Structure 1
Amino acid sequence: MQSSYNYLLVTISFVVATLASYTALDLTGRIFMLASARLRHAWRLGGAAALGVGIWSMHFIAMLAFSLPIPLGYDFATTAYSLGLAIGASYLALFMTTQTRLTAARLGAGGVLMGGAIAGMHYSGMAAMRMEPGIDYQPAWLTLSIVIAIVASTAALWLARVLSDDDERHVLKKRFGAALIMAVAISGMHYCGMAAAGFAPGAICGAAKGINAAWLATSVILFTFAILIVTLMLSRFDARTTFLAGAVSRLNGQVLRLATLDTLTGLPNRSTLTERIERAIGSARRQRTLSAILFMDLDGFKTINDSLGHSVGDEVLSAFAQRLLQCVRASDTVARLGGDEFVVLAENLPSREAAGMLAESVLERMRQGMWTDSQPLQVMPSIGIALFPHDGDTVETLLKHADAAMYEAKRAGRGTYRFFERSMNEAATRTLRIQSALHDALAAGHFSLHFQPKFHGNGDSLAGAEALIRLHHPELGALAPLEFIPIAERSGQIVQIGNWVLRETCRQIRRWIAEGLPAMKVAINLSPRQLAQPNLVATMLAIVEDEGVSCEQIMFEITETVAMQDAPRTIEMIREFQASGFEIAIDDFGTGYSSLAYLQRFRVKQLKIDRFFTNGLDEHGTEGSAIVSAIIALAHSLEMDVVAEGVETESQLDMLKSMMCDEMQGFLLGKPLSADDFGELLRGRMVAA
C-alpha cells in the first residue's frame, strides 16, 4: 500500500526533536550542579516527564504526518503505553548522566536500555494503529532503526555529560549544536522504522474511528512546545537563581576571608588573632594551663624591601610564613599583624622552657635553606615571648609585653629570643618617648653637631674632623647617640636626620671659611637605612651643591658590616660617590667579615681601625700589636690610608706612630667639640703655626 507524508508536520517533528534534545542537555547540566539529593531526584522526575513528552511527541507528530489511502487512527491505551516508555527512557537518561561518575560500562548499558526503550516506544506507537492484517517489518530496516536508537542514545548520554558544566565557554552554542545532531539521529531512527513497515493492500486501521488527526496533531504540538519551553524556562531561572546564590556565597566567603585572613600570606590577621588569644586566655584560666605569645619581627627586612623592591619583600614574607607554619605545632596559631610582624600563639605548654624551645626551633629552621627562588636572602626573626598568666591577662597586655621582649632581643644582637621581664616595660616606655621626641627634634632644633678632631700620624697636625650628632631634649635631657640612633634607624627617621647632618656640616664648613679658618675635611657616618635609599648619592650631591661646599671636603664613612651585607651594591655605590667627588672610608674595620677580594674592589680612601684593636695595643701586648700592624700593612699595600680610633693612652699613640698609621683620633688627642670650640681649635693652630 502506497504511503505519503505531510512535510510541514515532518518539519515540526524535527523541531520538536531538537527542542527535546536541547532540553535534555540543559536539564543534565542543571541537575548535575545540584548539591541536594532530594532536589536532584525531584528535577529528574519532572525533567523525565517533560523530556519524555517531547520525545514521544516527536514520534507521534511524525506518525500523524504519515498517511495511507485509508483512514488512520490510534488506540488510546497503546499510545499511552508508548508515552510511558518515552518518559521511562528519559528518566533513565537523566539518571545515568547525572551520576558522579559515568564509566564506559554505565554509558554502554544506559545507551542500550534507553535505545531499546525509544525503539519500543516507536513500535508500540505503530501497534496503536491496530492494522488488519498486521504491519510487515523488513528485518534489515528494523535492525537499523534499533541500532540507530541505541547509538543515538549512547551519544546523547555522552554529550549530555560532556556539556553539563554551565561555566564552560560557549556551552549554550555547543548544546544547541549537539541538540541538532541528536535530533537528526532521533528522526533518522523514526523514519528508518517507518521505512521498515510494510502495509498490505486492502489493509484497514482498527483504530480509525478515534480522534480527528488534524485536531490531534495541533493539540499535541501546542502541548509539547508548552511543556518543553516551560521546562527550559524553569531550568534557566533556577540555574540563574543558583548562580546568584553561589555568587553571593562566594562573595560572603571572600569578605569573610578579607576580614579574618591576611591577603598576602593567608595567615590569620590581627582581628582573628585577637579572638583566638581571648579564647586561649579563657581556656587557660579554666584549665590552669600555660600559654605563650611569640612576637616576631624580621631583622633587615626593611633594607630588602627598600633596596630590592616590594615584590621581593612579598616573596620573603610569604616564604617566612610558610616556613613558620612548619616550625610550630599543628595546634598553634600563626598570624601576621602587618608589615614584617608575625605572632605565634602556643597553648597548653607544660613549662616556660617549652616556649623557649619553640622559639629556638623557629630560629634554627630559619637559618636553613633558601628564602626565595632567586635571592638567597638571610633574614632572621627576633622573638619576644610573653606568658599567660605570668606576664599579663589581657590580649593587649600580652602583645605589648611580647613586643617589648622582641625589641630587647634586637638589642641583644638580633636573631635571638628573649622572655618578657618587668624591667622591659620601662625600656619600652622610654623607647616610645625617644621615638616621639625624634619626630619633633629637627623642627624644634634639639639636634646639634660636635666635631672630633682627627690628627696626622705625627699626632700634632690637624687632618680633619668627624661629625657627631647630639640630641638634647627639654624633657628627656641629653641623649647618647647609642640610645637614640638605633631607634631612629628602626623607625626610618634616620634618613631625614642624616640629611640634616650633612646640610648642617656644610653650613658649618662655610662659616669656618667665612671666618678665615682653613677648610677642614669632615667625615660623616652613613646609616644602613640611608644606604638602602635608591637615590642616596643624588640626594647627598644635591645638598652639598645647594650649600655651596666642595665635595672634596666631605668624606662618608660606611661600617664594614653594612658594606658587606650587599657587597656588589656597595661597590656600585662607592664608585658613584667617588665619581661625584666624595671620598669613602670603611669604618669599624676588623669587626665584620670582609674578604680581601672585596676590600680590594672597594678601593676606598681610608680604613678606620675599630677601637677594639686600638685598646688591644695595651691589653694584648705583642699579639695586639701584630694585628694592628698587619691591618696597616694590608691597607697600605692597597693604597689606602689608615685611621686609628679610640686613641686614649701615650703608649697607644707611640706604637701607632711606629707602625706608620696615617691618622688618629681619640680622647688623648682631642674630645668631640662644639662647632664654636672646634673653630677656636682651628684658630689656635693657625696662630701656633
Structure 2
Amino acid sequence: MHGTYNLWLVAASLVVATLASFTALDISARIATLAQSRSRQVWLAGGAASMGIGIWSMHFIGVLAFQLPIPLGYDLQITAGSLGIAVLVSFFALHVITGKRLTARRLVASSLLMGAGIAAMHYTGDAAMRMQPAITYDPVLYTASVVIAVVASGAALWIAHTLSAANLRNVMAKRVVSAVVMGIAICGMHYTGNAAAEFVPGSICGAANDVDAHWLATTVALFTFAILIITLVLSRFDARTALLAGSVSRLNGQIVRMATFDTLTDLPNRRTMNERIERAIRHAAQQRSGFAILFMDLDGFKTINDSLGHTIGDEVLKAFARRLQECVRGGDTVARLGGDEFVVMLENLNAPTDAEKMSERILDTMKQGLVVASHPLQVMPSIGIALYPQDGDSVEALLKHADVAMYEAKRGGRSTYRFFEASMNEAAVRTLQIQQALHEALSGGHFYLLFQPKFHGKSGELAGAEALIRLDHPQIGTLTPLEFIPIAERSGQIVQIGYWVVRETCRHLANWRAEGRPPVKVAINLSPRQMHEADLVENVMRIVREEGVPSDQIMFEITETVAMQDAPRTIEMIRAFQENGIEIAIDDFGTGYSSLAYLQRFRAKQLKIDRFFTNGLDENGQEGRAIVSAIIALAHSLDMDVVAEGVETGSQLNRLQDMACDEMQGFLLAVPLSAEAFSGMLEKRTVSA
C-alpha cells in the first residue's frame, strides 16, 4: 500500500525544523554565558522543552504529511511518549554543547546517543498509528535513516558548540545559515525513515478513532510555532537584559575605580590614601604601634615637562610610580596625590630608622635613572617623613607635616630626605604667608623696584644699574629677594613676576627719558624657571616694544649655574636676545661649573665676579687677589667686560681699579636706590656733563 505527501505540511515541517535549529543555537549561546547557577538550570530545562517540542513537532508534522488511502489517527499516550523522548534528547544535546570542552571522543559518543534518541522518537511516532498488520521497514533505508540521524546529530552538536561564543564575528548570520543546514539534515533523516516504512495492502490504523490527524496537524504546527517564537523572544530579551546589566556593572566598576585610583599611574589617589591612613590610625591606636608617611615630589619635573613635553612628563610619572612600587614592601601603600606628588605609607614600623632606610632605598633606586621614549633621565624625589603618633594623630596633620618636611629637604639641597621637626612648622607657616603674599602682590601693587648703581672702574662715573625687586606687603612687611624668590621659583609664580620686572624697568626707563635724563643700561636677573619658557624672548621683546624702550638699554643677567644646566639652550637664547639688541651678562661667575669652552661660546657682554671673590680680596690675601686677577684677565681675553659686585671697602675698590676691572657695584659706592633717587643721580650726571 503506497502513500502520498501533503506538500504544505512537508514545507511546514522544514520551516519548523529550521526554526527549532535556530532556537537551539540561540539558547545554547545564552546558556554558555551563564555561570553554574539556578538561572542556568532554568534555561537548560526550558530550552530542552522548547527545542524538544520543535524537533518532535517537525517529525510529527512530517508524519502527518504522509497520507494513506485509509483513515489515520494517533494513539495519545504513544505520541506523548515520542514527545518525551524528544525533550530528553534535547536536554542531553544542550548539556553537551554548552560545556566548556567538546572533545572528539565526547562528540562521537554524544552523536551516537542523540542520533539513537531521534530515531527512537521518529519510530515511536510511527508506532502511535497502531497499524495492523504492523509496519515493516526496508533494512537499507532504515539503516540509512539512523546513520543520517547520527551524522546530523554530530553536525548539529559541533555547529551549536562552535557558535555558542557570542564574541564571534557575524554570529547571527552564521546561526541562520547553520539553522537552515541543520533543518534540511533533520528533514532528510525523517523522510528517509518514512521511505523505509512499508504498509501491507489492506492494513488498518488501530488509532483511527483516537486523535484526528487534520486537527492534530493544525494544533501541533500552531502550538510549536508559538512556543519556538516565545522562547526566541525570551532568549533575546534575557540576553539584552544581561548585556545591559553587565554594561551597567562594568560602568559602575569603572566609575568606582576612577573615584579611588589615579587614572595615569593606576595608583590609589588622594581620597583612597586618606581612607587608608584613617584605617591605619585606628589600627595603630588599638595595637599601640606606629607607621610613617613619606611625602615626596620630583625635583626638576617642570623642566622635563617644559623641555620634552607633557606626554613625556606623563610617561616619567608612570615610570617613577612603577619604580616606587618596586621599592616598598608588600603591605605598604603607594599613592599619587596629583601632579608630581607621591605618598608612601609604611605600616608596622619597628623603629623610625625603618622609614629612614626606606627613604635611602628609594633615593638609591632612583639614582639608577629612567629611560623614557629614548631619553635617559634621572628623576630624583625630595622626601619628607612624618611619624605616627608623634608627628600627628590625624590624616591632615600627618600629610601636612610630611609636606613641610619635604620642603625642608628641598631647601637642604634636594634629592634627600628630612624627618619632620616641630621647628619646621614656623618656617612652614612663614612659607604659606609668603605664598599668599605673592598671590596678592601683582594685583595689589605690593612689588616695587630698587636700582643698584654700577660705576666705571677707571673714571668712577655712573655706568648703569641693576634692577632689584622688593616686596612690601601690608601684613608681613618688606621682604628681600632671598626670602620670597625661592618660594616663587618653586611655585612657578616667578615667571609672571619676572615679566613684571621687565615691564616695570621699561616703564621707569621711559619715564627717565621723558624727564630728559640721559640713556642708561639696566640689568635684570633671569630666573631658572624663566629660562625654560619656550617663548621667553618673544614675550620680553613684546613688552619692550609696547613700552617704547630701545632694546640696547636692557641687559639680562644669568647665573653661571643656570646657564650651564642646558648650555645648548642657553646659547640659543643668548643669540636670540643679541639679535634683538639685548646683551647678556654671566652672573656669579666662579661659583658654578666655570666651563671655559661654553663661556667662549656664550659670547656674553659681561662677566660678573661673585661677591665671594670680592670679599676674598681682603680676607684671602695674595691668593684671593690672584683669583680675581685671573678672572678679569680671562674675561678680557674673550672681549668681555668685568663687573665686580659686593664692593664694600676702599681696599677692595683700589685693588679692583689696579686690576683694570671695568665696572663695580656695592654699598661702598651706592646703596640700592628708589626710581626717584636714581633719577636724581642721572640728573646730576647730566648737569656735570
What is the TM-score of this pair, normalised by structure 2? Answer: 0.91
Matches within 5 A, 1:80-91: 80-91=80-91
Letter in 2 for 1:27: I
Determine the structure 1 residue equivalent to 2:676.
676
Q: CA deviation at 1:544?
A: 0.9
Map 1:72-83 to 2 at 5 A: 72-83=72-83
Per the alignment, residue 495 of structure 2 pairs with: 495
User: What is the 5 A alignment of 1:517-532?
Assistant: 517-532=517-532
Distance 2:491 2:257 in 1: 31
Q: Equivalences for 1:579-618 in 2 at 5 Å? A: 579-593=579-593, 598-615=598-615
**CA spacing shift, 1:596–1:173, aligned 2, 3 Å:** farther
Q: Single out whichever of 287-296 and 374-383 deviates more from structure 2.
A: 374-383
1:50 corresponds in structure 2 to 50
Q: Residues 147 and 540 of structure 1: is their aligned pair in 2 closer, same or farther, counting only changes over 3 Å? A: farther
Question: Given residue 95 of structure 1, which amino acid in structure 2 is its aligned partner?
Answer: H
The separation in 1 between residues aligned to 2:649 and 2:501, in whole angstroms, is 30
| Cα distance between partner residues in 2 of 1:601 and 1:147 | 94
Q: Deviations over 1:486-539 (max 9, x none)?
A: 122223322222122111111222233334333121111122332333332222
Summarize the Cα distance change of 1:437–1:88 in structure 2 as closer, same or farther, 3 Å threshold.
same
- Distance in 1 (CA, whole Å) between partners of 2:599 and 2:106 is 76
Distance in 2 between residues matched to 1:659 and 1:127, nearest whole Å: 130
Q: Tell me the CA shift for residue 284 of structure 1.
A: 0.8
Residue 357 of structure 2 aligns with an amino acid whose one-letter code is: M
Paired residue for 2:137? 136
Matched residue, 1:41: 41
- 1:177 partner SS: helix
Residues 491 and 58 (structure 1 numbering): CA distance in 2 closer, same or farther, change over 3 Å?
A: same
Aligned pairs for 1:330-341 within 5 A = 330-341=330-341
Which aligned pairs between 1:221-236 and structure 2 lie closer than 5 A? 221-236=221-236
Report if aligned partners of 2:76, 2:211 keep a CA contact under 8 Å in 1. no
Aligned to 2:486: 486
Q: Distance in 2 between matches of 1:621 and 1:69?
A: 139
The question of whether the paired residues in 2 share the 8 Å contact of 1:133 and 1:204 is answered with no
User: What is the one-letter code of the residue matched to 2:434?
Assistant: I
Deviation at 1:66, TM superposition (A): 1.8
Map residues 278-427 of structure 1 onto 2, 5 A cutoff: 278-427=278-427
Q: Distance in 1 between matches of 2:591 and 2:297?
A: 25
Local SS of the residue matching 2:533: coil
Residues of 1 paired with 2:129 and 2:642: CA distance?
Answer: 119
Residue 175 of structure 1 and its aligned partner are, at CA, apart by 2.4
Check conservation: 1:295, 1:344, Cα contact below 8 A: yes
CA 209–675 in structure 1, closer or farther in 2 if over 3 Å, else same? same
Given the superposition, is the C-alpha separation of residues 666 and 34 from structure 1 closer, same or farther in structure 2, using an over 3 Å criterion? same
Quick check: 2:142–2:192 contact (8 Å CA) kept in 1?
A: yes
Q: Distance in 1 between matches of 2:263 and 2:298?
A: 19
What's the CA shift string for 1:380-414, capped at 9, x where partnerless? 22211111110111111111111111111111122
> Is the CA contact 1:61–1:217 (under 8 Å) kept in the aligned structure 2?
yes
Q: Could you tell me which amino acid in structure 1 is paired with residue 672 of structure 2?
A: P
Partner Cα separation in structure 1 for residue 514 and residue 266 of structure 2: 62
Change (3 A) 1:247 1:521: same
Q: What amino acid does structure 2 have at the position aligned with 1:136?
A: Y
Separation in structure 2 between the aligned mates of residue 10 and residue 608 of structure 1, nearest angstrom: 107
Of 552-561 and 642-651, the range deviating more from structure 2:
642-651
Deviation (angstroms), 1:649: 5.3
Spell out, residue by residue over 1:400-447, the C-alpha distance to the aligned partner (whole angstroms, 9 max, x if none): 111111111111122111111111111111111111122222333322
Q: What letter corresponds to residue 500 of structure 1 in structure 2?
A: W
Question: Does the residue aligned with 2:348 lie in a helix, a strand or coil?
Answer: strand
- 1:270 and 2:250 aligned: no
Alpha carbons of 1:576 and 1:188: their partners in 2 closer, same or farther (altered >3 Å)?
farther
Aligned to 1:563: 563
The answer for unaligned runs of 5 or more in structure 1 is: none
More displaced stretch, 451-460 vs 37-46: 451-460
Cα deviation for residue 317 of structure 1 reads 2.3
| Cα separation, partners in 2 of 1:172 and 1:598, compared to 1, 3 Å | farther
Q: 1:536 to 1:123 in 2, by over 3 A?
A: same
Farther off after superposition, 254-263 or 346-355:
254-263
Residue segments in structure 2 that go unaligned for 5+ positions in a row: none
Q: Give the C-alpha shift of residue 40 in structure 1.
A: 1.3
Aligned position for 1:508? 508
- Residue 17 of structure 1 is matched in structure 2 by 17
The answer (yes or no) to whether the contact 1:138–1:197 under 8 Å persists in 2 is: no
- Which residue is 1:159 aligned to? 159
- Structure 1 residue matching 2:158: 3-state secondary structure: helix
User: Structure 1's 124 and 604: CA in aligned 2 closer, same or farther, altered over 3 A?
Assistant: farther
The number of residue pairs the alignment matches comes to 688
Secondary structure at 2:452 match in 1: strand
Give the 3-state SS of the residue equivalent to 1:588 in structure 2. Answer: strand
State the SS of the aligned residue for 2:448.
strand
* Offset, 1:168: 5.1
Aligned residues with identical type, % of pairs: 68
Deviation at 1:71, TM superposition (A): 3.8
> How far does the alpha carbon of each residue in 1:580-631 deviate from its partner, in whole angstroms, 9 at most, with x for none?
3222233334444476665555443334344445555666667666665665
- Provide Cα deviations, 1:38-68, integer angstroms capped at 9, x if missing partner: 2212221121111111111111111111223
For 1:286, what is the secondary structure of its paired residue? helix
Instruction: Summarize the Cα distance change of 1:545–1:153 in structure 2 as closer, same or farther, 3 Å threshold.
Output: same
User: Contact between 1:494 and 1:527, CA under 8 Å: does it hold in 2?
Assistant: yes
Query: How much does 1:554 deviate?
Result: 0.9
Letter in 1 for 2:379: V
CA shift, 1:348, in A, is 1.0
Q: Is the 8 A contact 1:295 1:385 kept in 2?
A: yes
Change (3 A) 1:622 1:127: farther
How far the C-alpha of 1:160 sits from its partner, in A, is: 2.6
Amino acid at match of 2:425: N
SS of aligned partner of 1:604: coil
Read off the aligned partner of 1:223 and give its amino acid letter. Answer: F
Alignment partner, residue 243 of structure 2 = 243
Query: Residue 118 of structure 2 corresponds to which residue in structure 1?
Result: 118
1:102 aligns with 2:105: no
Asked if structure 2 preserves the Cα contact closer than 8 Å seen for 1:459 and 1:664, the reply is: no
Q: 1:429-472: per-residue Cα shift (whole Å, max 9, x none)?
A: 11111111222223333222122233445473443222111112
What is the TM-score normalised by the length of structure 1? 0.91
Aligned residue identity for 1:527:
S
Shift of 1:187: 2.0
State the secondary structure of the residue aligned to 1:418: strand
**Matched AA of 1:514:** A
- Over 3 Å counting, the alpha-carbon distance change for 1:242 and 1:649 in structure 2 is same
Measure how far apart 1:556 and its partner are.
1.8
CA distance in 1, matches of 2:598, 2:89: 83
Please tell me the residue identity of whatever aligns with 2:363: L
Secondary structure of the 1:256 match is: helix
d(CA) in 2 for partners of 1:617 and 1:65? 124
For the 8 Å contact 1:268–1:336, the answer to whether it is kept is yes
CA 1:225–1:534: 2 relative to 1, 3 Å: same
Instruction: Specify the SS of the correspondent of 1:451.
Output: strand
Q: Is the 8 A contact 1:138 1:198 kept in 2?
A: no
* Change over 3 Å in CA distance of 1:306–1:194 after alignment to 2: same
Q: After the TM superposition, which residues 642-657 of structure 1 pair with which residues of structure 2 at under 5 Å, given as runs? A: 642-648=642-648
Residue 33 of structure 1 deviates from its aligned partner by: 1.7
Distance in 1, matches of 2:139 and 2:325, equals: 75
CA shift, 1:107, in A, is 3.6
- Larger mean CA deviation between 599-608 and 578-587 belongs to 599-608
Shift in Å, 1:126: 3.4
